[in-house]
Structure 1
């Protein structure tokens, strides 16, 4: 009897059961805002006290385009929910440094449009800003009941334009450490990248089709894949691809690769906590 077979199969089944339990439970922590479900605890707010929340929406660009220098611009809308905020203080920080006050908002919703020069002001000399620098906007909320920090934040990278959304043919070759599928396996499939803005994409199947080929016996079948079971978020920063996520059997997985700027071909490799590994080549269709 193969222990890993039992381990993977049991984890997958228990995951399905626990998912059913989680989505079926509701409590006063959960609120519905239009078509969006909001949990106060996700924002580090005590739902019993019904504190106000900061809601970020309508993000424009999502990154500072390094090629545009100080004129690189982003925009986003700040709104409150749940506590009738009288003011929101917006702070900015760079690469994990101490936050400084950026501006105070007194009406909601409010739209913020800001440039890289404005983001850098008071944090770093504009000429010293470099690719992969990360500006983070955080928020404090003032209400009639007092002021407190919001758990919401907006991360804005200094990056390059990215246009990878579309349909790709995936050619994947890899090796599983499970006894179900020894040796090197090669598969082809179709993968979709959906643009989420700011160089972030949802990839429909990060495994490039090989998880279904390996682990259909454990339930990773066509229906599971179609339901998003092997979907995740990847990031493109100046043609460098990366992601960190949990694969269907519960282990941490890292993904790294690159984009060929001339052909648009994306090549990445990933490795799971089981040491399953594969290389995926995505060719635009």
Structure 2
């Protein structure tokens, strides 16, 4: 399979970790206890912040539930991290010293009031992202952050692990209504791999984009058939994090495959039902693809930056 060295490294790391937890004698090295939340968006509430409504002053109310998935924190704050598309990142405490589990609601007016850097709904721009998570204070005074102040998931709580069993952050992109879901056909060409012999001709297939809400889509193949060719003879490049966003026709890539590789898409042309783009990942794979929209429907005027 692809990335065999990475797999071997993971196995070696697991072996090392197990050996460190127990020295083989009577003493066992204690592991520091952590905590993690579980956050769930209300299905009846918006999954994104509608830029048009926000800028027109129309009411938007985000609703979500927060519970403790594991651990026993002494106190909990609900934290907001607002990442602007331009680059700056803002931080605020949305709710202090809360009791969990609990349902919460947050209006755009609340968002403006919470972040001193945001003056009004007109400041909410396409491509911005509001991330909601928790800050736990443990009984010994240790503070566990899920997201660090610069907006990077991981924070200071080194014991908090990413898991498929619960959701530690909620993302609310500033976006517009989007409808890109479906099973689209593709023709890939110019496939490249840092190690491997790729086919010289075209490769055709289909890719499914599943609407996750809020302009976020899960794709069944970030590399449009490249992994399945002689480049790697592997399964499609996808995972639970293989997502991209449509922010009012601005396509924001950056999804990750099953190996944790990040993909960048660059749209080069949109012509009716056909869209051309080039892609690459941070392992050296790349390719060009022409996507034909399901049903032959014209694509919107999509673009990347």
**TM-score, L = length of structure 1:** 0.69
CA shift digits 1:12-67 (9 cap, x unpaired): 4444555677899997xxxxxxxxxxxxxxxxxxx923233222123553320112
Cα distance change on mapping 1:51 and 1:15 into 2, 3 Å: closer
Name which of structure 1's ranges 126-135 and 18-27 shifts more when overlaid on structure 2: 18-27
**1:129-140 to 2 correspondences below 5 Å:** 129-140=124-135
Aligned to 1:54: 37
Kindly indicate whether the alpha-carbon contact (under 8 Å) linking 1:90 and 1:101 is maintained by their aligned counterparts in 2. yes
Residue 252 of structure 1, CA deviation? 5.3
Q: Which residue of 2 aligns with 1:73?
A: 61
Distance 1:146 1:23 in 2: 30
For 2:222 and 2:13, locate their aligned partners in 1 and report how far apart those are by CA, in whole Å.
25
Structure 1 pair 213–254 and aligned structure 2 pair: CA distance change class (3 A)? same
* Partner Cα distance (2:101, 2:174) in 1: 26
Structure 2 gaps of 5+ residues are: 19-29, 147-167, 296-305
Q: Which residue of 2 aligns with 1:268?
A: 277
Matched, 1:234 2:229: no
Question: Which residue number in structure 1 is paired with residue 211 of structure 2?
Answer: 195
The alignment status of 1:283 with 2:293, answered yes or no, reads yes
Aligned pairs for 1:120-131 (under 5 A) are: 120-123=112-115, 124-126=118-120, 127-131=122-126
Q: Give distance in 1, aligned partners of 2:238 and 2:82.
A: 34
Conserved 8 A contact 1:239-1:258: no
Q: Structure 1 residues 264, 120: CA separation in 2 closer, same or farther (over 3 Å shift)?
A: farther
Residues 269, 144 of structure 1: CA spacing in aligned structure 2 closer, same or farther, 3 A cutoff?
same
The alpha-carbon distance between structure 1 residues 247 and 153, as it changes in their structure 2 partners (threshold 3 A), is: closer
* Alpha-carbon offset, residue 207 of structure 1: 2.2
- Secondary structure at the counterpart of residue 253 of structure 2: strand
Q: By percentage of residues, which structure has more strand?
A: 1
How far, CA to CA, are the matches of 1:205 and 1:100 in structure 2? Answer: 36
Residue of 233, 242, 258 corresponding to 1:219: 233
Q: In structure 2, what is the Cα distance between the partners aligned to 1:141 and 1:68?
A: 33
Alignment of 1:152-191 (within 5 A): 152-176=168-192, 180-181=197-198, 183=200, 185-191=201-207
Mark the CA change 1:208 to 1:68 in structure 2 (over 3 Å): closer, same or farther: same
- Matched position secondary structure for 1:99: strand
Instruction: List, as ranges, runs of 4+ consecutive aligned residues in structure 1 with deviation greater than 4 Å.
Output: 15-27, 227-231, 245-252, 262-267
Given that 1:207 and 1:280 are in contact with CA atoms closer than 8 Å, whether structure 2 keeps it comes out as: no
**CA offsets, 1:85-115, max 9 Å, x none?**
4532123243344422221253221122212
Aligned length: 249
Structure 1 residue matching 2:246: 3-state secondary structure: strand
TM-score (norm. length: structure 2): 0.65
Deviation of 1:181 after TM superposition, in Å, equals: 3.8
Q: Is 1:117 paired with 2:109? A: yes
